[in-house]
Amino acid sequence: MRTKFLLIALMFTGFVALAQQDAQYTQYMYNTINVNPAYAGSRGAMSIFGLHRTQWVGLDGAPTTNAFSVNTPINNSNLGIGLSFVNDKIGPTSENAISADVSYTVKTSETFKLSFGVKGTANLFNLDVSKLTPADGSDELLLTNIDNQFTPNIGAGVYFHSDKMYVGLSVPNFFETKRYNDNDVALNAERMNFYLIAGYVFDLTYNLKFKPALLTKAVEGAPLQVDVSANFLYNDKFMLGAAWRWDAAVSAMAGFQITDGLFIGYGYDHETTRLRRFNSGSHEIFLRFELFKKHSKIVSPRFF
């Protein structure tokens, strides 16, 4: 029953014949490099990030995502660079995306900076037909595996930020890719995803910070996604927060700054759609490690 419902859910939420959205993250505010290349190097340190997400636990073939990235500013320049890898699995398909990012930052005032970024991506797509049960067993399109089908892509973004706030607009992939396309129907079509992100840090007391954040994602052929979150950081060590994904889920988040350079975080999503009857939620865990120069080592970790 659960497997059958997953197929129905994927037909409804994924629009696989029309539009495929990029991988989804609850803790997007710590994984900005994957959606906006202008973020590369903006933290002023080499930042190494790893994340694992398991979605809709209990459903066979439900999405799982693994993401790894590293980004850093270039010494004595306005440049930043980044490299990221994302593995996204859903049902019989899996996709590996390897991306390189370059950013250029302009100081617009004493407190604000404006960064521009470009992203180049190599996508490797796989389909295991043994996991399919096609209605028409003679359909040649569904009789052959796809192994590491390569497609290139490029993207761009802008990122306006200070130590207290940020606003970003980006399109990680400009090229629209169709797979399994026989000129009549494409069983997997990747459209442009448009991202708007924003956040602001309020100092409530000397040891308590509050940061609301927003991510809006739009793609043709799929519902608008709006994520709103609110995080509190106590004593620059312990983070606790909650989030709401419009018409989809509510989330809880927690994190801990283990050392000056090491931060760990966890997020849990509870579905608010009918899908909640068939799964036990989604889990996401990440680890961020940062290397600072001795003379620029931060005393109080930045909140984004």
Which tens digit of pLDDT belongs to each residue from 9-47? Answer: 444 343 333 344 678 899 999 999 999 999 999 998 999
Q: How many domains does the chain have?
A: 1
DSSP assignment of 168-197: EEEES--S-EEEEE-SS-EEEEEPPEEEEE
CATH number assigned to the domain comprising residue 154: 2.40.160.40
Residue 10's pLDDT is 46
**Banded pLDDT at 177 (limits 50, 70, 90):** confident
pLDDT over threshold 60, residue 160: yes
Cα 120 from Cα 102, distance rounded (Å): 9
Question: What mean pLDDT is reported for the chain?
Answer: 85
For the segment 261-278, the average pLDDT, to the nearest whole number, is 92
Domain membership flag for residue 12: no
Residue 295's pLDDT is 47
pLDDT over threshold 80, residue 225: yes
What is each CA distance from 213 to 28, 205, 225, 235, in whole angstroms? 9, 19, 14, 20
**Banded pLDDT at 148 (limits 50, 70, 90):** confident
At residue 292's C-alpha, the angle toward residues 289 and 296, to 5°, is 145
Domain membership flag for residue 7: no
Of the chain, the percentage scoring pLDDT greater than 90 comes to 62
Domain membership flag for residue 281: yes
Q: Which range marks the domain in which residue 207 is found?
A: 28-132+142-293
Domain membership flag for residue 17: no
